[in-house]
């Protein structure tokens, strides 16, 4: 029976790969990344296939080895317990207050940064567009249009050059929207430099450059990233970019606390970007949370709210009245007033949901191909800058040519485009094509939502959709900070309005047909099709329209767009995460993975340490092994390791498990020379504090920097007081879903696999779990469990 | 140093209580509940106090032994793995579709039930009030007002009598709002009968009776409970009340799946009650979730949305146009139109937040005293009905007397109270006091939000606040279904409007002073002070006003009300949960509990079973022990149990741990006579399916109903294929926070405590963890860890 999936896929006792020892050097891909060959599990074909096709070209099937995991588990060793006992009630309350205070600061500063970006973009764009408009107006009569065009393109190119250079050479992680990086961070992956201060500075300058430079980008994604960096910075009270340490909030120097604050920062960023405090909280939860905690959520909400309020006050003050809080977010969709909808229109909305899903999937498909191309061929940093500048030049040129070649003249209205340009139109009219290109994407979207009926011809909207689609697909992934929300919204607004206009032609007498409304629904559909967010996106759109009327249609449209899009590929953020090979863990274990046992998942053999270990061996192990956690065992002789004594069904064990110790702890111990042979060892041990281990967080010196004399190599270290004695373990017969749930729910970095005698068999890390992925192919009606390569 | 909390509180190896063996019969409280004396840990006083004051009168410090835990862990035994391997891809996809289908049905049916309640209340109230109004109008002239008063009171009494009798005698768990029960269920506590069909029927009839019967109640809480019952019923495809089994969705017969659907049902209930689909999802998460799962949240949102739409269509059809979806929820706060606020008003709103927090705390304080009184003295079911009828009579009488004695005559307006009653007012006027009492609390609240300025005199509002406060405090906790949302809202609306009116007197020229707005803010403050919900309540209020304008003030007010209220006591739902002694687990481990180790938390000694166990011993153990899970061990001789061999620092162990087996599994095995000595054992074993174990869910026959012949008692059972071999365990040195997190994040029912040799030392269940509670006393600046009694 072909449908009996995995019916003979019972775990074999000897089925253990010795990944750490054996050198698989048969495959090196273009990046020079050495890959371990995969084992493919085909749910249909009863068991292990030893000769699965290894598609070297498929970048999305490699898991990068460079990403480390964050550790949310508390090491409850004797030092920790002693530390806890020193804490008075007052200390606990003070910590609570500090948490609220920090969250408040995160909200306010994120709001300020968002305002800064907003004001800069507005002022610089104003300068740029008014200069070019004047130039164009002069040249239309003198037939010298090539001049303003060249100057437009040149201005864009220079601005984008600055932004891209900064980003490429100083903080490459600042490129793109930052949402994938934040998602990874909240998922528990250590993305290098993602929450550093220099990343923030580059992000802010870069996003101003990319928006002002006329690229098809928005500033919302980068704001979310900014909020996250602010959160990490404030909560840690120091910056390694500028080498200062305020010695504040030292207690919050752990992955767990940092993650909590970063959730708040991301929420504050969303809140500032869209004026959507509830949406911000939901975004943090949807993209990052694993364990919902009421108190934490409430604090995140606080940050989120303060961010909106800060932004609001600044925006109001700029409008002359600090107390008119009518401008909640940076990108407010504007007032839809009395526009309502007839439930029968839901049918059209559903169709738009399908279109959004399809267009979104197409967007992702093309962008994926492009990204794979970039990963493979555009390594050189100068090439990266050149590509960004090239896109800037092309964006400018194409926009200008489109305006030039296709002129949709409209009479001047009460509220025309921000910078109405006449071009070849008769006096008293302006070019509505130019109106779409000749302002920031954000303003264009708002105009599409609210401009009066008949502002745009059908062809104008169609042409704009096609041109902007191409530009947006190309732009996302350039080496410059760039948000994806606004381009998607604008794209959707354009074809949504086109859809509405077409309906008006079909139903000429329908009074309910407001094309601005269809622009809004189109925007939601396109956004849903691209980012595949669910409840948070719904709330963001509801809050940004400031109107609950469109709640239901937006929900329906987003639901349909996601369903349709999911048939073809993953959301754009997940796609980019997988293209980077980040070992991200999903919400649930892969489907049909319950036949995979811990013995297959685990890394084996394991490097273990004995409770009392020679200093020399520790140093050698730390130098030789890249691992960050080691099991501490007893009854184990490292010099006498028999590999399963030749009998295939006996897996080698590594002594009785006593606890785990982290590389960072060992390095601190070596640095402080806590050796049993030292005369002052007793005093030293009793003086060790939790802060000794926390001080170096998050960057511990590499083992190479620790000086150990040959004499000291023979000394002994007692690891027992420092190891985590009660860490979570898993039995060797546990299934992948069980290990997955333990990992996901508790945010672990590694878990030790033991047998029923409590003997160490192997280790499971995030990468071991992330290797397994279920491919659901609806066309073939099959689910295939799929093992990714892990590159070194 | 007095602040060095617990500095000497290091765990002692011998510090193990033998709770299961020793008979602590020294304390029996009023309910005849036998209590185990507590151990008190005082964070200030360095360690264990053996003579902590045991306040027998304090019902809130007893944990009831009657509540079992739900089990969200999957038993991954050989049967389960075999079952999983039989599942084809098509089966997996079908299950996914079934999940969506069921969620959709839950939404629609919850919407229908909400409509049913709504229509019934409306129609019956109409009958009642128009009858009495006519009577009053007749009698005002004839001076026979005692007659309509008596008939009003009599009608109320009869209706409430019916509702309360049904509730008290058929489904006592249907009393109250149901939110505490749902909260417990989602937290993982098995509350008997809470999701049974008969509970639903009683709830629906009862809530109609209580609202129509003139009690100070709302119908929103019961709707949430109804949604939850609908969810459990549909997903299980059968009813034990009516003894039918549709044999549908059998795969969903597990605690895990049922909880997921119940979350959806609760969300659909909130969504129907307030027209708040997003608020519904957030409610489910805030009150119940432990692990946020994107796919599940998305399905919950689907149910929530369909519920609002269903309700909406029915409400629109009743209004004559099925396609005008303008009435989203049952309790829509009405259109606030252009009312806005000045940011300077936030100061007043903050003060209102404080008032709400204080009044809420007072409400809870008085209600707690009353509830303790009820628990202690009102046992008799007739007494319970009598109390409900008494409150109904008093509510009627007091309302009538207030109207009679205090007449606030107002000229007839365009939109006066629903049933304007003239009483002693001159012609062309009506009594606005009567207006407040003479309609359902819901309509009164809406009137307070929207009635024109000057509709109510200051004194009217003050008097109403006091009278209604007393009635509402008394009513909550009666043996009849009753929601708390509407009474709180109405109360808050009354004093909020009073507050607004007073401000008008202080600032006579302020144009921004709209007392309806202050009524809304007051309602939010009072609600926040009573229920202490955070983000979900904010969203519910935003969605119910259909207006995002008041988002920020509502957030601020709720935040302040919660902060102020939390200084005094817990929210009303948590208070009631604790009064019932339900072993609910909070979001985080109790503060300052990291000095408590697994050895202290665990129950010891443990009843264990050997992998091959005599049938007789299993039957005897099941009869003797109430436990639901047993460790399976090897190398253990039950007849030769030495209690720690006399040496105090050696804790007795119970053999090497191999897995856990559940009572329900043992009973199924005994029933099917899976004994090794049987001739057909091989065949029997191979034929056993997961469904054999699932069929009896959730109620397994008691061991007394299983017939085992004396001959069979000597047979042997092999437990190894049926036990869960890879279940989560915890080391004996683990701290309480670590065990807590494992339990909370993974929804466990019990965890086995092992030592480093993997030998069983004890078991930790939900009750063992829930016993520990941190009391934060701000006045003394102390946090005290506190151990509750567990009653048998």
Q: Is pLDDT at B360 greater than 90 in this prediction? A: yes
pLDDT in the model for residue B27: 33
Nearest by CB to B726, from A292, A297, A733: name it.
Answer: A733
Which one has a higher pLDDT value, B133 or B281?
Answer: B281
Tell me the shortest Cα–Cα distance from B390 to chain A, in angstroms: 39
The residue-averaged pLDDT of B660-678 equals: 87
CB contact under 8 A, A92 and B591: yes
The residue-averaged pLDDT of B252-264 equals: 87
Q: Which residue of B has its CA nearest to A95?
A: B591
Q: What is the tens place of the pLDDT at every residue in B454-510?
A: 778 888 889 899 999 999 999 998 999 999 999 999 999 999 999 998 988 888 877
Q: Retrieve residue B196's tokens.
A: 């049974």
DSSP output for B180-211: HHHHHHHHTEE-TTTT-HHHHHHHHHHHHHHH
Q: What is the tens place of the pLDDT at every residue in A575-586?
A: 998 888 888 888
Q: Which residue of B has its CA nearest to A590?
A: B92
Whole-angstrom Cα distance, residue B414 to residue B455? 12
Percent of chain B topping pLDDT 70: 84
Q: Is pLDDT at B245 greater than 90 in this prediction? A: no
Q: Which residue of B has its CA nearest to A555?
A: B305
pLDDT in the model for residue A137: 78
Q: B744 to chain A: which residues are within 8 Å by CB?
A: 291
Nearest by CB to A344, from B295, B323, B559: name it.
Answer: B323
Q: Is pLDDT at A279 greater than 60 in this prediction? A: yes
Q: What is the tens place of the pLDDT at every residue in A96-125?
A: 888 999 999 999 999 999 999 989 998 998
Nearest to A415 by CA among A396, A443, A379: A443
Nearest by CB to B725, from A535, A592, A731: name it.
Answer: A731
pLDDT in the model for residue B203: 94
Q: Is pLDDT at A644 greater than 60 in this prediction? A: no
Whole-angstrom Cα distance, residue B660 to residue B728? 10
Are A227 and A143 in contact by the 8 Å Cβ rule? The answer is no
Place B154 in a pLDDT band, splitting at 50, 70 and 90: very high
Are B519 and B204 in contact by the 8 Å Cβ rule? The answer is no
Which one has a higher pLDDT value, A459 or A5?
Answer: A459
Nearest to B168 by CA among B476, B382, B370: B382
Tell me the shortest Cα–Cα distance from B283 to chain A, in angstroms: 11
Give the Å distances, CA to CA, from A441 to A272, A361, A436, A448, A488. Answer: 18, 22, 8, 11, 10
Q: B782 to chain A: which residues are within 8 Å by CB?
A: 89
| Residue A496: φ, ψ to 5° | -65, -45
- Residue A622 CB neighbour total at 10 angstroms: 21
Nearest by CB to B298, from A535, A546, A782: name it.
Answer: A535
ω before B643 within 30° of 0 (cis)? no
Q: What string of H, E and C letters represents the secondary structure of B234-249?
A: HHHCEECCCCEECCCC
Q: Which residue of A has its CA nearest to B775?
A: A89
Whole-angstrom Cα distance, residue B273 to residue B178? 14
pLDDT in the model for residue A290: 61
Q: Retrieve residue B421's tokens.
A: 């009653």
Q: Is pLDDT at A47 greater than 70 in this prediction? A: no
Place B60 in a pLDDT band, splitting at 50, 70 and 90: low
Place A55 in a pLDDT band, splitting at 50, 70 and 90: very low
DSSP output for B281-344: HHHHHHHH-SB--HHHHHHHHHHHHHHHHHHHHHHHHHTT-TT-----SSS-----TT----GG
CB contact under 8 A, B5 and A85: yes
ω before B698 within 30° of 0 (cis)? yes
Whole-angstrom Cα distance, residue A684 to residue A710? 22
Place A327 in a pLDDT band, splitting at 50, 70 and 90: low
Q: Retrieve residue A701's tokens.
A: 């010196």
Q: How many residues does chain A have?
A: 792
- Residue B324 CB neighbour total at 10 angstroms: 16
pLDDT in the model for residue B370: 93
pLDDT in the model for residue A202: 94
pLDDT in the model for residue A647: 45
pLDDT in the model for residue B233: 86
CB contact under 8 A, B309 and A552: yes
Whole-angstrom Cα distance, residue B282 to residue B299? 13
Q: Is pLDDT at B666 greater than 70 in this prediction? A: yes
Alpha-carbon torsion, ordered A174, A180, A183, A185, to 10 deg: -40
pLDDT in the model for residue A771: 84
pLDDT in the model for residue A289: 63
Nearest by CB to A535, from B297, B551, B552: name it.
Answer: B297
Q: A298 to chain B: which residues are within 8 Å by CB?
A: 534-535, 559
Q: Is pLDDT at B341 greater than 80 in this prediction? A: no
CB contact under 8 A, B7 and A725: no
pLDDT in the model for residue B431: 77
Are B345 and B499 in contact by the 8 Å Cβ rule? The answer is no
Whole-angstrom Cα distance, residue A109 to residue A343? 43
Q: Is pLDDT at B86 greater than 70 in this prediction? A: yes
Tell me the shortest Cα–Cα distance from A773 to chain B, in angstroms: 15
Nearest by CB to A745, from B295, B551, B745: name it.
Answer: B745
- Residue B238 CB neighbour total at 10 angstroms: 17
Chain centroid, CA B305 distance in Å: 22
Q: What residues does B633 pair with on adjacent strands?
A: B610, B657
Lowest mean pLDDT among A184-188, A332-336, B452-456: A332-336
Pairing of strands A750-754, A760-765: antiparallel
Q: What is the tens place of the pLDDT at every residue in A467-502?
A: 999 999 999 989 999 989 999 999 999 999 999 989
How many interchain CB pairs under 8 A, A with B?
Answer: 236
The residue-averaged pLDDT of A526-550 equals: 84
Instruction: State chain B's mean pLDDT as an integer.
Output: 80
Helix-helix angle A179-187:A255-274, to 10 degrees: 150
Residue with tokens 């040799």: B757
Are B574 and B363 in contact by the 8 Å Cβ rule? The answer is no
Pairing of strands B68-69, A760-765: unpaired
The residue-averaged pLDDT of B698-707 equals: 82
Nearest by CB to B84, from A74, A551, A595: name it.
Answer: A595
Are B619 and B703 in contact by the 8 Å Cβ rule? The answer is yes
Nearest by CB to B7, from A85, A278, A292: name it.
Answer: A85
Q: What is the tens place of the pLDDT at every residue in A208-223?
A: 999 999 888 988 889 9
CB contact under 8 A, B89 and A592: yes
Are B113 and B201 in contact by the 8 Å Cβ rule? The answer is no
| Residue B31: φ, ψ to 5° | -80, 10
DSSP output for A347-368: HHHHHHHHHHHHHHHHHHHHHH
ipTM for the complex? Answer: 0.83
Q: What residues have CB less than 8 Å from A174, skipping those under 6 apart?
A: A167, A199, A202, A203, A206, A225, A481
CB contact under 8 A, A729 and B729: yes
pLDDT in the model for residue A434: 77
Which range has highest mean pLDDT (A579-593, B26-40, B332-346)? A579-593
Q: Retrieve residue A386's tokens.
A: 């050149």
Are B547 and B336 in contact by the 8 Å Cβ rule? The answer is yes
Lowest mean pLDDT among A274-283, B404-413, B727-736: B404-413
Percent of chain B topping pLDDT 90: 24
Mark B425-453 as b/e (b = at least 16 C-beta within 10 Å): beeebbbbbbbbbbbbbbbbbbbbbbbee
Q: Which residue of B has its CA nearest to A589?
A: B293
Which range has highest mean pLDDT (A335-344, A352-361, B255-264)? A352-361
pLDDT in the model for residue A76: 81
Q: Is pLDDT at A548 greater than 70 in this prediction? A: no
Q: A86 to chain B: which residues are within 8 Å by CB?
A: 4, 7
Q: Is B649 exposed, middle or buried (0-12, 13-18, 19+ CB in 10 A)?
A: exposed
Q: B90 to chain A: which residues are within 8 Å by CB?
A: 3, 781
Instruction: State chain A's mean pLDDT as an integer.
Output: 80
Lowest mean pLDDT among A352-356, A629-633, B178-182, B284-288: B284-288
If phi > 0 it is left, if psi is from -120 to 50 it is alpha, else beta; for residue A73 that is beta
Residue with tokens 């010099």: A639
Pairing of strands B629-634, A409-411: unpaired
DSSP output for A408-472: -EEE--SS--SS---TTSPTTEEEHHHHHHSS-HHHHHHHHHHSPTTSS-HHHHHHHHHHHHHHH
Q: Is pLDDT at A781 greater than 90 in this prediction? A: no
- Residue B222 CB neighbour total at 10 angstroms: 33
pLDDT in the model for residue A34: 36
Nearest to B159 by CA among B198, B197, B199, B127: B127
Tell me the shortest Cα–Cα distance from A73 to chain B, in angstroms: 9
Q: A301 to chain B: which residues are within 8 Å by CB?
A: 534-535, 538, 555
């Amino acid at each position: 029976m072909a449908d009996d999936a995995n019916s003979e896929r019972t775990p074999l006792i000897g089925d253990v790969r010795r990944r750490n020892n054996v050198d698989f050097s048969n495959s090196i891909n273009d990046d020079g990344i050495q890959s371990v060959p995969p084992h493919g599990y085909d749910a249909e074909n009863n068991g292990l296939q030893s000769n699965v096709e290894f598609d070297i070209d498929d970048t999305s099937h490699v898991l990068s080895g460079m990403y480390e995991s964050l550790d949310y588990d508390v090491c409850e060793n004797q030092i920790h317990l002693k530390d806890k006992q020193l804490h008075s009630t007052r200390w606990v309350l003070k910590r609570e207050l500090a948490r609220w205070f920090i969250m408040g600061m995160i909200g306010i500063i994120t709001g300020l940064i968002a305002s800064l970006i907003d004001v800069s973009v507005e002022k610089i764009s104003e300068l740029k567009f008014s200069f070019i408009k004047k130039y164009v107006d002069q040249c239309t009569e003198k037939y010298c249009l090539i001049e303003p065009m060249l100057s437009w393109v040149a201005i864009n190119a220079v601005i984008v050059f600055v932004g891209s250079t900064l980003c490429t050479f100083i903080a490459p992680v600042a490129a793109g929207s930052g949402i994938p990086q934040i998602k990874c961070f909240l998922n528990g992956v250590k993305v290098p430099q993602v929450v550093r201060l220099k990343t923030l500075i580059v992000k802010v300058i870069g996003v101003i450059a990319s928006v002002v430079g006329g690229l098809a980008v928005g500033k919302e994604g980068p704001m979310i990233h900014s909020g996250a960096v602010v959160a990490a910075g404030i909560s840690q009270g120091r910056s390694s970019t500028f080498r200062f340490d305020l010695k504040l909030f030292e207690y919050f120097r752990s992955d767990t606390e940092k993650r909590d604050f970063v959730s708040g920062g991301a929420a504050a960023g969303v809140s500032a970007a869209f004026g959507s405090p509830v949406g911000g909280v939901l975004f943090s939860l949807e993209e990052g949370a694993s364990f919902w905690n009421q108190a934490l959520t409430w604090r995140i909400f606080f940050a989120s709210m303060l961010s909106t309020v800060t932004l609001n006050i600044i925006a109001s003050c700029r409008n002359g009245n600090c107390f008119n809080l009518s401008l909640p977010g940076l990108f407010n969709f504007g007032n839809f007033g009395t526009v309502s909808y007839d439930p029968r229109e839901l049918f059209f909305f559903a169709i738009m949901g399908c279109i959004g899903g399809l267009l979104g999937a197409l967007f992702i498909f093309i962008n994926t191909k492009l990204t794979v191309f970039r990963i493979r061929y555009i390594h050189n940093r100068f090439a990266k800058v050149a590509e960004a500048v090239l896109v800037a030049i092309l964006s400018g040129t194409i926009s200008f040519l489109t305006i030039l070649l296709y002129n949709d003249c409209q009479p001047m209205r009460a509220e025309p485009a921000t910078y109405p340009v006449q071009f070849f139109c008769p006096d008293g009219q302006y070019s509505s094509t130019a109106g779409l290109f000749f302002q920031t994407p954000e303003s264009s979207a708002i105009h599409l939502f609210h401009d009066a009926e008949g502002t745009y011809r059908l062809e104008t909207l169609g042409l704009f959709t096609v041109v902007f689609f191409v530009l947006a697909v190309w732009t996302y992934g350039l080496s410059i900070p760039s948000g994806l929300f606004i381009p998607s919204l604008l794209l959707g607004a354009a074809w949504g309005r086109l859809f509405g206009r077409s309906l008006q032609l079909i139903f000429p007498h329908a009074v309910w047909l407001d094309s601005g409304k269809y622009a809004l629904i189109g925007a939601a559909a396109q956004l849903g099709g691209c980012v595949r967010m669910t409840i948070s996106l719904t709330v963001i759109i509801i809050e940004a329209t400031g109107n609950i009327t469109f709640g239901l249609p937006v929900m329906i449209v987003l639901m349909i767009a996601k369903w349709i899009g999911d048939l073809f590929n993953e959301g754009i953020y997940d796609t980019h995460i997988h293209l980077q090979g980040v070992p991200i863990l999903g919400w649930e274990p892969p489907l049909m993975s319950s036949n995979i046992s811990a013995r297959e998942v685990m890394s084996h053999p394991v490097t273990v340490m004995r409770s009392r270990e020679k200093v020399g061996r520790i140093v050698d192990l730390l130098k030789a092994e890249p691992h960050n956690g080691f099991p501490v065992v007893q009854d184990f002789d490292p010099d006498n390791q028999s590999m399963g004594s030749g009998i295939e069904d006996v897996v080698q064990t590594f002594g009785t498990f006593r606890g785990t110790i982290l590389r960072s702890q060992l390095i601190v111990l070596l640095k402080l020379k806590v050796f049993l042979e030292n005369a002052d060892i007793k005093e030293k041990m009793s003086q060790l504090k939790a802060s000794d281990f926390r001080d170096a967080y998050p960057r511990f010196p590499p083992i190479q920097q620790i000086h150990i004399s040959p004499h000291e190599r023979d000394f002994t270290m007692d690891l027992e007081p420092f190891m985590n004695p009660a860490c979570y373990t898993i039995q060797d017969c546990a299934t992948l879903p069980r290990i997955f749930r333990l990992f996901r729910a508790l945010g672990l970095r590694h878990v030790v696999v033991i047998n029923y005698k409590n003997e160490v068999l192997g280790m499971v890390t995030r990468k071991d779990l992330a290797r397994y992925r279920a491919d659901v192919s609806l066309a073939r009606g099959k689910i295939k469990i799929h093992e990714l390569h892990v590159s070194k």
